[in-house]
Amino acid sequence: MRHAVQNVPCAVITVSDSRTKETDESGSVIIEKLNSNGHLVVDYRIVHDSISEIKGAITANLENVEVKVIICNGGTGIAKRDVTVEAVSAFMEKKIEGFGEFFRYLSYEEIGIAALMSRAVGGVAFGKIILCLPGSSGAVRLAMDKVILPQIGHMVWEVER
């Protein structure tokens, strides 16, 4: 991965009807892990479990020339209010199928068969990477440590070449 981009500028979007910036543990984990690995957080916001609010946050970050990766957390389950995947999929030009598959595999090793209810998804939209994670801090830590941080710079390099 000698071509991997260093210091990747990222946006973090938490999807929740109940969290605030003070109580958003998962968003805080993502930000801390990005920062401690030399990446930059150029936008952080919390939106409600609403397709229009999620699309608005995605659109703002797709239009932000600084942002190269958008990481969403929350709203990826199977409950009625979980609409992150539906909102984000409308933008995706290419899906990164292995992202969700590998995340679910790793989750299965930690939490068992309940991992199948995760609809974690990744893709490319307008030359940017979009990754959607569950809202639990355990899932976020797993995804950041085992999937996103080891590949973020390489993914950006591939999309930009």
The reported pTM is 0.97
Alpha carbon distances (Å) from 80 to 49, 58, 104, 134: 10, 21, 21, 15
DSSP state for residue 129 in the 8-state scheme = E
CB 77 within 8 A of CB 118: yes
Domain residue extents for the chain = 9-160
Cα 55 from Cα 138, distance rounded (Å): 25
CB 60 within 8 A of CB 27: no
State mean pLDDT over 148-155: 97
For 98-146, the pLDDT digits (tens) are: 999 999 999 999 999 999 999 999 999 999 999 999 999 999 999 999 9
pLDDT classification of 1: cutoffs 50, 70, 90: low
Q: Reply yes or no on domain 9-160 having CATH 1.10.600.10.
A: no
Q: At residue 75, does pLDDT exceed 90? A: yes
Q: What is the mean pLDDT of the chain?
A: 97
